[in-house]
Each structure stands twice: as C-alpha cells, then as structure tokens.
Amino acid sequence: MIIVTGCSGFIGFHLSKELLNNNLPVLGIDNLISSQNILKNWRLEQLKNYGINFIDVDITNKAELNKKIRDINFSGNFSTIYHLAGLAGVRQSVLEPKKYYNNNVMGTINMLNIATEFSLESFVFASSSSVYGLQDNRIPFVENETLESPQSPYAFSKLFAELISKDYSNISSLNVSLLRFFTVYGPAGRIDMSILKFIHNIINENPINIYGDGFQERDFTYVEDICEGIIKSSRVDGFETFNLGSSQPYSIIKVLSILKEIINKEPKIEYLPKHYADVNYTWANIDKAKSLLKWHPKTSLENGLEKTVDWYKNNKDLLASTFEKFN
C-alpha cells in the first residue's frame, strides 16, 4: 500500500486519485483543521468514492500517528510514502514561523520515522522552488545550487526538511526523492493561491490585488504534470533532488491577460506594495527530471488555465462557499 500525506490537499488529492485510478491501494493521511475545509472535504469525498483508506491525524503527533497506522487492518507492506502534508503559504509563514517549522520539519521527521520503522522502499518529499530564494541573474534554477537565501520561514522549513530527509537516506536503506515544485495550479486548487483567486474575482467582478508591479514571474505548472513527475520519482534508487516545473515562466500580468481572454471579462486590478518574502521570479531547469525520470511537462499554460476555468464554472457553488468562509 502507498501512503499519501496531505491527501485532502490540492496536489495530494490529484496524486491519490491518479494512484487509485491505477488500482494502487492508497492510505491517505490528513488533518482536516483549516479555513479551506469545505474544499478539502469535497476532495476527500471524491477520494472515498475511489476507495481511499483514510486516517484523520495530525502528523506532528507521533504517538497518535503511529497508533492509527498500526490500527488499520492491513496485512501487506507499505511501499512508498508521498509526503505532501505541510503548511504551504509563503506570506502566512512570516506571521506564524513557529507553526510552520513545527509542522513542516517535525511532521517530516515523523513521516521519515514511519518510513524506516515500517521498512519502506521510498520516500518522496514535496519541497518547493522557494528554497532557491532570491536570485540575482534571471536564469533557471538548478538543483545543485548552493542555497543561501531562502526568503521566508516556509522556504527555510522546506530546506531543513530536505536536509533531514537526505540524512535519513544516508543512515538507512530508504530511497529519497526531494521534489521542488514550481507554482502548481489546476482544478480543485488552493484558493489562497493566485490562479483560483484570479478566476473567482474576474468571474465575480471583484477587485484583484497584485503585490508589486505584476511583472514578477512564476513557472506555473499544471497539477497533472506534477503528479506524473511525483509518481516517476518514487522509482529512483538512492537519493536525488528534482525540480518539477514547466520551465517557462509567465508574469502575473500575462496570466491575467490570458484569463481575460478565456473568461471574456476585464480583470479589475488593484496594486499593493510588494511583499518582501515574494521573490521576483521562479524558473526551473528541468534537465535532470527529463533525463533521469523521463519526465517533461505536457500542458501549456493556456490549456491548463482553460481546464481550471472549466472546473471553476462546474463547481461554482462549492467555490462560492469556500471563498466566503476563507475571506
């Protein structure tokens, strides 16, 4: 059986669905305490229809985590942990650093201990492009760069968790893949992230807040492409780090102009000062994932945004109540 932590989250939902669709049994782990719970419960209900085994537990609570995993009635072996559970959100982490460090570092240590105690083959960790921090020259980020300038507690928490995961691969036979995701978007996405917020606000003719001049660039990556990369990375032997990104950065202004065409409504933009924890650009060099994983992103930004807008339109009521609760 495969363990997916953060299964009710955005990427965990898509990953679990893909695994279950391929008839692979999944033990999903999540805690359901969040302002985005309506959407998380919706994702979980879908996964239950696909046959997920689910444990509602906080992974920072080691005793309860171990007990609940041991209590499930399962006679086979666990093979892989896809560890996606974590507190995401760069700006929020500046307000609550301790919470982010506890969740993202201690939670990861607990999952690494589960992996070694249950003799799993592989551990795949959801890290982030944020670990690259501020970069002076506008060139793609490469995995073997020395990382000296993460810009937020979130970025540091991911970097610490990466280093600890690497150490576990040294001291045990666990295969570890660290995946640095670049701005993932798509259907059933997070409403605290730009794309769904933009879609919601354009459709509902609400103002859109842009921090800075809007020319900051992100390497937006479609969620199904990310899931393909995640699954492929679990077959890697030893320890490796991979960037998973589209390798084609777009500015926020450009994204809004594409959404304007798709939705056929003018966005109402309101400019706010740039947040210091926001970096100017992210851009993945994906040569390593292409050569070792035989992975490349297949979805263009235009196509991915169209699919996301379609999903929004088909789930308008769900989104309306999720946004209402969130704001």
- Which residues are at the interface with ligand NAD (CB under 6 A)? 6, 8-12, 29-31, 34, 40, 58-60, 84-88, 103, 107, 126, 128, 181, 183-184, 190
Residue 154 known to be catalytic: yes
Query: At its nearest, how many Å lie between ligand NAD and the CB of residue 35?
Result: 11
Q: Report the relative pairing of strands 217-218 and 250-251 from DSSP bridges.
A: antiparallel
Q: Which is nearer to ligand NAD, 157 or 169 (CB)?
A: 157
Query: At its nearest, how many Å lie between ligand NAD and the CB of residue 266?
Result: 27
Q: Which is nearer to ligand NAD, 207 or 300 (CB)?
A: 300
Q: Establish how many alpha carbons lie within 13 A of residue 190's alpha carbon, considering only the half-sphere containing its beta carbon.
A: 18
How many residues would you count in the chain?
A: 327
Query: At its nearest, how many Å lie between ligand NAD and the CB of residue 6?
Result: 3
CA distances from 243 to 120, 220, 234, 303 (A): 24, 13, 14, 22
DSSP string, 170-199: HHSS-EEEEEEE--EE-TT--TTSHHHHHH
Q: Which is nearer to ligand NAD, 31 or 233 (CB)?
A: 31
Q: Which is nearer to ligand NAD, 265 or 307 (CB)?
A: 307
* Backbone torsions φ then ψ of 32, nearest 5 degrees: -105, 35
* Distance from C-alpha of 204 to C-alpha of 320, rounded to nearest angstrom: 10
Tokens of 327: 């704001």
Q: Which is nearer to ligand NAD, 47 or 309 (CB)?
A: 47
DSSP string, 198-210: HHHHHHTT-EEEE
Q: Are 256 and 267 a contacting pair, CB within 8 Å? A: yes
Query: At its nearest, how many Å lie between ligand NAD and the CB of residue 239?
Result: 19
Query: At its nearest, how many Å lie between ligand NAD and the CB of residue 18?
Result: 14
Q: Which is nearer to ligand NAD, 82 or 168 (CB)?
A: 82
* Distance from C-alpha of 118 to C-alpha of 296, rounded to nearest angstrom: 32
* Distance from C-alpha of 243 to C-alpha of 92, rounded to nearest angstrom: 24
Selection from 100, 101, 105 nearest residue 83 by Cα: 105
Selection from 133, 116, 219 nearest residue 174 by Cα: 116
Strand partners, 5: 29, 83
Query: At its nearest, how many Å lie between ligand NAD and the CB of residue 205?
Result: 26
Q: Which is nearer to ligand NAD, 154 or 265 (CB)?
A: 154
Q: Are 277 and 151 a contacting pair, CB within 8 Å? A: yes
Query: At its nearest, how many Å lie between ligand NAD and the CB of residue 281?
Result: 15
Selection from 176, 157, 144, 42 nearest residue 98 by Cα: 157
Q: Are 122 and 187 a contacting pair, CB within 8 Å? A: no
Q: Which of 82, 100, 101, 154 is catalytic?
A: 154
The set of catalytic residues is 154
